Structure 1
Amino acid sequence: MTIEGKVALITGGAQGIGLGIARRLAADGAAIALVDMKGEKLVAAAGQIEALGRPVTTFVADVSDRDQVYAAIDHAERELGGFDVMVNNAGIAQVNPILDVTPEEVDRIVRINIEGVLWGIQAAAKKFLARGQKGKIINAASIAGHEGFAMLGVYSATKFAVRALTQAAARELAASGINVNAYCPGVVGTDMWVEIDERFATLTGAAKGETYDKYVGGIALGRAETPDDVAALVSYLAGPDSDYMTGQAVLIDGGMVYR
């Protein structure tokens, strides 16, 4: 079963995992709203969706700003004629020993990774309720939301928080027919992991690429994850086959963390 004719909004949709999700949901038949802070990359990403023959619109927004998240959803509904799936994908990484983390670093990652998801859940649910319809809310967690990783302590804490928000929202919204789930990737070959690897190199003296290779070497399926791997799970969570599933944070990591 597909999501033909549905409208899906993806935050952080201009590149990486977000763009992979957008491409997959478009291929599944959805109209796509891409939200990101990077305007130029949004234009290029929209071109990829158009090439698939699906309607697409873009909106520049900072997900840590509640009003901008609400405005992005209003824009998607207005431009695409509906609103059915919210993918709270936007997020940032942070590599630093717990002893060295600064208040400014904590504030930034909390505003994006936690508050950005919170406002996305809130705004999407209110829109579904106003429209008198069911809906799907899908949040970006991580393997670091199931297990705390050294040098990624605050990042891990934000992803544990996403799991908590997912579970609480699922309980609160189930009676309204709104499903809330999360996806938990592992080591994905995107720009974010390039940044993580470079930061590890700076902090530990590891050679460039060494940390990335070490983590990939621990994947049971023997290769790094791709955005398309993540998008396949999100496609399931967005579609009708997952209608009896809510409150879950599903590991999709090739075999790194087992729960």
Structure 2
Amino acid sequence: MTTPTHTTERVACITGAASGIGASIARRLAEDGLHVALNDLPDQREALDDLAAEVQSRGVRATVVPGDISEAGGPDDVVARLVSELGQLDVMVSNAGIAEVKPLLEVSAEDWDRMLGINLRGMFLTYTAAARQMIEQGRGGKIIGAASLVAHRPFPMLGHYVASKYGVRGLTQNAAAEWAKHGITVNAYCPGIVDTPMWDLIDERLAEEEGLEPGEAKQKYTEQMISLGRMQRPEDVVGFVSYLASPDSDYMTGQSVIVDGGIHFV
């Protein structure tokens, strides 16, 4: 990677940006005036292109950098391409991840490896690729990861997902401790039950396990667990991500903050 010429403008990369929370984060950071690089798997190229056109209408630059962040060298390639297009990297939002509903006794070694390969290995590779670029630039930066409510408490039927997100929380703390000397802050956001395609899949499997109709599991957990009484929308978390990406959070690092409507109180 080459060291770009510093500008007063800022550039953010969002992984897992094709839909859900990732797409909402890209829109919010564009509204905040950041140029954005949009990443997801190559088969999501059309959705990424549409999102890039949308955010460019807000007066910022956008580039699409597809790639698998769980593969060795994948995030390094993504960062190199976005820097060649946009000149620098100031904010990395490592949002890509998957979920799967299975009782632990049914989780295979392959299930385990896939979950941790994407959610934790991919996070590690993305964090370190971003950190290397930011250190080379020499002016710090913001690294922001997607954890979850389950990084703080278990959730039945999501054991290997829970393990991956507890790992993200630990990785975030360790990265924050190691990279503070470079002016890099590292924090994570922890959503709860969010109305996204990921939670549609969780709802479908929970409904099967509990003998419910599709949609009833989400409604059940919303009514029983969420103090504010409604399911979370992507927009409910992006304001916090905007804060983490802004200078207002310069003295905050190593935190994994729950934004869940009042499910878990710490």
Show the counterpart of 2:5.
Answer: none
Number of paired residues?
256
CA RMSD between the two structures: 1.0
Deviation at 1:227, TM superposition (A): 1.1
Residue 22 of structure 2 is aligned with which of 10, 13, 18?
18
Cα deviations across residues 65-99 of structure 1 (Å, max 9, x unaligned)? 13111111111111011110000000000100011
For the residues of structure 1 that align with 2:106 and 2:72, how far apart are their CA atoms? 29
- The answer to whether residue 218 in structure 2 is matched with residue 212 in structure 1 is yes
Partner residue of 1:110 out of 105, 116, 126: 116
Instruction: After superposing the two structures, state which structure 1 stretch, 73-82 or 30-39, moved more.
Output: 73-82
- After superposition, what is the alpha-carbon deviation per residue over 1:41-84, rounded to whole angstroms, capped at 9, x for unaligned? 11122122122221000011111013111111111111011110
Aligned residues with identical type, % of pairs: 49
2:141 aligned to 127, 132, 135, which one?
Answer: 135
Q: 2:232 aligns with which of 225, 235, 245?
A: 225
> In structure 2, how many angstroms separate the alpha carbons of the residues matched to 1:122 and 1:204?
40
User: Hey, what's the Cα distance between the residues in 2 that align with 1:45 and 1:236?
Assistant: 22
Q: TM-score, normalised by structure 2?
A: 0.94
Contact 1:15–1:45, Cα closer than 8 Å, also in 2: no
For 1:26 and 1:169, how far apart are their aligned partners in 2? 26
Corresponding residue of 2:78: 72
* Alignment gaps of 5+ in structure 1: none
| C-alpha separation in 2, matches of 1:66 and 1:258 | 37
| SS of corresponding position for 1:117 | helix
Letter in 2 for 1:117: M
Letter in 2 for 1:236: Y
Which range moves more in the overlay, 80-89 or 36-45? 36-45
CA distance in 2, matches of 1:203, 1:51: 44
Query: Are positions 1:246 and 2:224 aligned together?
Result: no
Question: How far did 1:202 drift?
Answer: 2.3
1:171 aligns with 2:183: no
Question: Where does residue 32 of structure 1 map in the other structure?
Answer: 36
Q: CA deviation at 1:204?
A: 2.7
SS of corresponding position for 1:83: coil
User: Structure 1: how far apart are the matches of 2:237 and 2:72?
Assistant: 26
- The residue type equivalent to 1:153 in the other structure is G
Q: Deviations over 1:108-159 (max 9, x none)?
A: 1111000111001100110011111210000000001100100011101100
Give the aligned residue type for 2:139: Q
Unmatched runs of 5 consecutive residues or more in structure 2: 1-7
1:73-88 to structure 2, matched below 5 A, reads: 73-88=79-94
Q: Does 1:45 align with 2:51?
A: yes
